[in-house]
Amino acid sequence: MSDKEHSTTMERILQEIATVSRRIEGMDASITSLTLETKSMRSDIAGFQSRVTGLEQRMGSLEAQATASQDRDQDLLYLRSKLTDMEDRSRRDNIRLLGILENEEGTDMQAFLSSTLSKLTSLDCDPPLEFQRAHRVGPKRSDKSSRPRTVICMPATA
């Protein structure tokens, strides 16, 4: 091989080495860019994991609150049923009196009923009849000719 051929071959080899070197430098830049993107993605993933952990904790807290709310709702339903039962039982003892003229009782309906009922029924009660409560039902009527309102009373228990 002559010097000229040898020199040409060497130039080609050097050109190819330069081309490969440029390609490697481009690949190095791409690898560096990919490395930075990978680090950024890892950081994003860590942030997402942190958010997911926070959301899981909040969800657990909300589930606990929902359970407590359901327990309170059940307690409330139970208490409502007990209250309804108590109201129904207390109404069983009520006495409804019809036909007692308006304002006949004066200012004390209980005293009026104690004295009037013992006279009307000819009961000789000792002690006299007592009432836990006594009142008229409904709003006062403005029409004087209409029926008197019903009186509801509950005798005192012995």
Segment 7-61, tens digit of pLDDT: 788 888 888 888 888 888 778 778 888 888 888 898 888 889 999 999 999 999 9
Residue 127 CA to chain centroid, in angstroms? 53
pTM exceeds 0.75 for this model: no
User: What torsion do the CA atoms of 16, 17, 19, 22 make, to the nearest 10 degrees?
Assistant: 180
pLDDT bracket for residue 114 (50, 70, 90): confident
Task: Please name the residue that has the structure tokens 């020199």.
Answer: 7
DSSP string covering 128-142, please? PP-EEEEEE-SPPPS
pLDDT of residue 69: 93
Is pLDDT above 70 for 125?
no
CB atoms within 10 A of CB 45: 10
Segment 66-84 shows an average pLDDT of 94
Is pLDDT above 90 for 116?
no
Most confident of 7-11, 58-62, 92-96, 123-127: 58-62
